Chains A and B, each alone.
Chain A
Amino acid sequence: GQNIDQPTEMTATEGAIVQINCTYQTSGFNGLFWYQQHAGEAPTFLSYNVLDGLEEKGRFSSFLSRSKGYSYLLLKELQMKDSASYLCAFTDSNYQLIWGAGTKLIIKP
């Protein structure tokens, strides 16, 4: 079978750094996405990893280890507007996205 897991909720302080982890199990893998979703809004694309390593994009970075079935999203210099849910999803052997339940990130002043 296949599954994907991420923490339900995390809290961090404005200006700090937070790492949101995502683990997955699947027999077929074609890449991993991270999306941001503010409350009451649609998910929006943040990053895509298909090879092992770190992809940096401004304050956000995403890491992938295919051998470990593990990814993380790193958010630096946290701002209040980063309060949102962060969704990880992998593309399976049929090229369909399998989604985690999302991590709700709460930023405190």
Chain B
Amino acid sequence: IAGITQAPTSQILAAGRRMTLRCTQDMRHNAMYWYRQDLGLGLRLIHYSNTAGTTGKGEVPDGYSVSRANTDDFPLTLASAVPSQTSVYFCASSGDSQTDTQYFGPGTRLTVL
């Protein structure tokens, strides 16, 4: 079944540790996105990629990095996790970066202690 997968489903992490959240899509979508969702706030864009080999910063990029080596994968790395990065992280993809509908992965619930 085509779609987006994320791993891990959930993770508890000690502050200061490095963590990579994985995202893979098999829809051959050009654009991919990473959001965080916190209670009472809308989804906030962390980083995005309009096509393989390119990435851009969203609204809240500090403390996060991404890479887009190929069309299917878009990992998000926290170099040194802090408690304020406790959140639910969603990966999404769309056909292109314009007005195509974004399709979301199931999310990763991350707790930083």
Would you give the 0/1 interface string for A71-109, flagging 1 where the beta carbon is closer than 8 Å to chain B?
A: 000000000000000010101000111111110000000
A43 lies within 8 A of chain B by Cβ = yes
> Known contacts A96-B48, A96-B58; is A43 also within 8 Å of B43 by CB?
yes
Interface residues on B, range: 10 to 19
Q: How many A-B residue pairs have CB under 8 A?
A: 46
Interface residue SS majority, chain B: loop
Interface stretch, picked from B14-22, B69-77, B97-105, is: B97-105
- Cα of A42 to Cα of B90 in the assembled complex, Å: 7
A4 lies within 8 A of chain B by Cβ = yes
Is A99 within 8 A of B99, CB to CB? no
Of all chain B residues, which has the CB nearest A6? B42
B residues 22-78 near A (Cβ < 8 Å) are: 40-45, 48, 58
Chain A residues engaging chain B, CB cutoff 8 angstroms:
4, 30-31, 33, 41-45, 48, 50, 87, 89, 91, 95-102
Chain B residues engaging chain A, CB cutoff 8 angstroms:
40-45, 48, 58, 90, 97-99, 101-107
